[in-house]
Amino acid sequence: MPDFIWVVAVLVVAVGGGVLGFYISTNAVQQKLRASREEAERLRAQAEAEKKDLILHATQEAMTVRGRAEEEVRERRQELQRIERRLTQKEENLDRKVEQNETRERQLVDKEQGLDGLKADIEKVKDRQLEELQRVAELTTIEAKDTLLKMVEQEIREDANRRLIQLEKAYREDAGRRSREILVEAIQRVTSEVISDTTTSVVPIPSDDMKGRIIGREGRNIRALEHATGVDIIIDDTPDAVTLSCFDPVRREIARLSLSKLVTDGRIHPTRIEEVVERAKAEVDQVIIKEGERAIYEAGLPDIHPELAKYLGRLKFRYSYGQNVLEHSVESTKFAGIIASELGANVNIVKKGALLHDIGKGMDHEMEGPHALIGASLVERYEKSREVVICVAKHHDDWFTNTLEGSIVQVADAISGGRPGARAESMDRYVKRLQALEEIANGYPGVEKSYAVQAGRELRILVKPSAVDDLGAMRMARDIARKVEESLEYPGQIKVTVVREIRAIEYAQ
């Protein structure tokens, strides 16, 4: 029984707790619902207020935009009205101008009709005058025009000739003065020493006993040396000296250097000779390359081909009347550069042409022909500029093409070779050669005058046109050239020019 009571009591307590809990939770839910409704009402009220504010603000903004749009429409309407008034005004002005132009056009038509009538009257009067002039002068209109045109043409030609002569005289005087100034300035700016070097073919030896050692047993040493160098070795009665003879200056220099080393060393036999000659060749080759590079550096032309530098260095051992050809080329380059800058020519082309103008002298024994054309052929292999080739070929008038740069190189060559002290040829020998050239030409019938020009490089002959015809002039040039070859000794070549001309001269008193 007590257990049952406890169970009932527990059940009662449990039911009572459940009811109490349900009540409590129900109250809490109701409180939350009330709070949610209040919050929802508050948010709804707030949204309504914001909605009213937005509607009010949008209404105000719309009214403002509408006001601006209406104001802009009013302004545009006023602007269109102003434009319309201006267009109406312009249209009225155009109408007035059209009326004025129509009036002027009618007046012009009337005047043109009047002018046509006047022209017809003038033509009738002109025809009557021409008929009268033809009757009086006994000339037709075409003949009178031809006569008048010929008279006017003759007067114009005479006046043009007079002015041309005056201008030519003035230009010649100015050109002569300017050229003298340029040449004097070029000579003054290039201060080079007087060149007095001469070629030598003599090798000193310590004693005459050395001559026997040079000759060797049965001449084997001297034959080996001549065979290795290509030079003739002359051993004569000259004390303490051996003479070397060869037309090639480079081979002569190799032989001189080889013989000097053999004499200094004292061991002279064929095997030793070959070794020394090979070393001498290598040394001379190095000297040639260095001298060529030095000349290019002094001339300020670094773009010259290395192969041309080798041929240029060979000129170190070449002399022309005592003047070293390499130094002459460098000096000519300086003259040519100054003259070219004064005349506005291409300085680079002129300097290249001047430096390389005598390069053919380093190989003229290997090829036939004048050294100018030989050098031009060599330069053409390595130089892209055609103007430089023309400068080399033109410097002795061996080429038909003439350019300003070629003429400058020719002048620079003449200045360097003709300045005082440049060449060691005696004046007496030089004058005698020129006189001999003129005497040969004067000995032919029909020769009026003859002149040796360009330092004896050209013989210019003036013949009487009545005594020598064109064919005879050609024959005379060929005969004189052959006689000069047979009679005289001279360096390079001599150009023979026979001039046959008829001049008509009159003087206006």
The DSSP bridge pattern shows strands 241-245 and 202-204 to be: antiparallel
Report the chain's C-alpha Rg in angstroms.
56
Cα→Cα distances 159→17, 145, 153, 156, 163, Å: 150, 21, 10, 5, 6
- Quote the CA–CA distance of 425 and 418 in Å, as a whole number: 11
Asked whether the predicted pLDDT for residue 13 surpasses 60, the reply is yes
Asked whether the predicted pLDDT for residue 321 surpasses 80, the reply is no
- Quote the CA–CA distance of 368 and 376 in Å, as a whole number: 13
Cα→Cα distances 294→178, 283, 392, Å: 33, 16, 20
Helix segments in 398-446, DSSP class H: 404-418, 427-442
CB contact set of 362 (below 8 Å; sequence gap of 6+): 311, 312, 314, 315, 318, 325
Confidence of residue 469 (pLDDT cuts 50, 70, 90): confident
Task: For the beta carbon of residue 208, count every other beta carbon within 10 angstroms.
Answer: 13
Same domain, 492 and 399: no
- Quote the CA–CA distance of 40 and 363 in Å, as a whole number: 120
Confidence of residue 419 (pLDDT cuts 50, 70, 90): low
Same domain, 412 and 439: no
Q: Is residue 155 part of a domain?
A: no
Which two tokens mark 315?
């000129």
Same domain, 281 and 348: yes
Which two tokens mark 428?
């007496």
Same domain, 491 and 409: no
**For the domain that residue 404 is a member of, what is the CATH number?**
1.10.3210
Which two tokens mark 37?
């409704």
Which two tokens mark 123?
């033509």
Strands (E), 47-162: none
Same domain, 407 and 438: no
Which residue carries 């080393």 as its tokens?
261
pLDDT tens for residues 101-126?
888 888 888 888 888 888 888 888 87
Which residue carries 């003047």 as its tokens?
323
What secondary structure does DSSP assign to 321-389, as a single string?
TTEEHHHHHHHHHHHHHHHHHHHT--HHHHHHHHHHTTGGGGTTTTS-S-HHHHHHHHHHHH---HHHH
Which two tokens mark 185?
């300035």
Highest-pLDDT range among 129-138, 175-184, 439-448: 439-448
User: What pLDDT is attached to residue 195?
Assistant: 46
The tally of domains found in the chain comes to 3
Same domain, 371 and 438: no
In terms of residue numbers, what domain contains 364? 202-418
210 closest CA partner among 255, 240, 252: 240
User: What pLDDT is attached to residue 194?
Assistant: 45
- Quote the CA–CA distance of 29 and 21 in Å, as a whole number: 12
Same domain, 451 and 484: yes
Confidence of residue 26 (pLDDT cuts 50, 70, 90): confident
Average pLDDT in the chain: 78
Number of H helices, E strands in the chain: 14, 8
Asked whether the predicted pLDDT for residue 424 surpasses 60, the reply is no
Same domain, 225 and 291: yes
Q: Is residue 246 part of a domain?
A: yes
Are 326 and 376 in contact by the 8 Å Cβ rule? The answer is no
Same domain, 323 and 393: yes
Which two tokens mark 317?
């051992």
464 closest CA partner among 430, 498, 440: 498
> Of 234-243, 337-346, 435-444, 454-463, which gets the smallest average pLDDT?
234-243
- In whole angstroms, what separates CA 294 from the centre of its chain? 25
- Quote the CA–CA distance of 245 and 232 in Å, as a whole number: 5
Picking from 368, 395, 418, the residue at the C-terminal end of a domain is 418
Of residues 389 and 171, more confidence is placed in 389
- Quote the CA–CA distance of 312 and 356 in Å, as a whole number: 7
Confidence of residue 451 (pLDDT cuts 50, 70, 90): confident
**For the domain that residue 475 is a member of, what is the CATH number?**
3.30.300.30
Q: Is residue 140 part of a domain?
A: no
Confidence of residue 406 (pLDDT cuts 50, 70, 90): confident
Picking from 359, 391, 418, the residue at the C-terminal end of a domain is 418
Q: Is residue 414 part of a domain?
A: yes
Same domain, 403 and 495: no
Asked whether the predicted pLDDT for residue 41 surpasses 70, the reply is yes
Asked whether the predicted pLDDT for residue 407 surpasses 60, the reply is yes
Same domain, 406 and 456: no
Picking from 55, 89, 123, the residue at the C-terminal end of a domain is 89
Asked whether the predicted pLDDT for residue 267 surpasses 60, the reply is yes
Signed CA dihedral, 265, 269, 273, 275: sign only: negative
Asked whether the predicted pLDDT for residue 430 surpasses 70, the reply is no
- Quote the CA–CA distance of 452 and 228 in Å, as a whole number: 43
- In whole angstroms, what separates CA 164 from the centre of its chain? 32
Asked whether the predicted pLDDT for residue 426 surpasses 60, the reply is no
Same domain, 237 and 363: yes
- Quote the CA–CA distance of 225 and 322 in Å, as a whole number: 28
Are 313 and 295 in contact by the 8 Å Cβ rule? The answer is yes
Which two tokens mark 404?
């300003």
Asked whether the predicted pLDDT for residue 420 surpasses 70, the reply is no
User: What pLDDT is attached to residue 186?
Assistant: 57
pTM metric for this prediction: 0.47
Of residues 427 and 229, more confidence is placed in 229
Confidence of residue 310 (pLDDT cuts 50, 70, 90): confident
User: What pLDDT is attached to residue 200?
Assistant: 47
Q: Is residue 493 part of a domain?
A: yes
Cα→Cα distances 268→18, 219, 254, Å: 147, 12, 16
SS3 28: helix
CA dihedral angle for residue 50, residue 51, residue 54, residue 55, rounded to 10 degrees: -150
Of residues 363 and 354, more confidence is placed in 354
Confidence of residue 427 (pLDDT cuts 50, 70, 90): low
Q: Is residue 158 part of a domain?
A: no
Of residues 189 and 484, more confidence is placed in 484
Which amino acid is located at 329 in the chain? S
- Quote the CA–CA distance of 41 and 12 in Å, as a whole number: 43
User: What pLDDT is attached to residue 365?
Assistant: 57
Kindly state the helix (H) or strand (E) to which residue 21 belongs, with its residue range: helix 2-137
Q: Is residue 154 part of a domain?
A: no
Q: Is residue 452 part of a domain?
A: yes
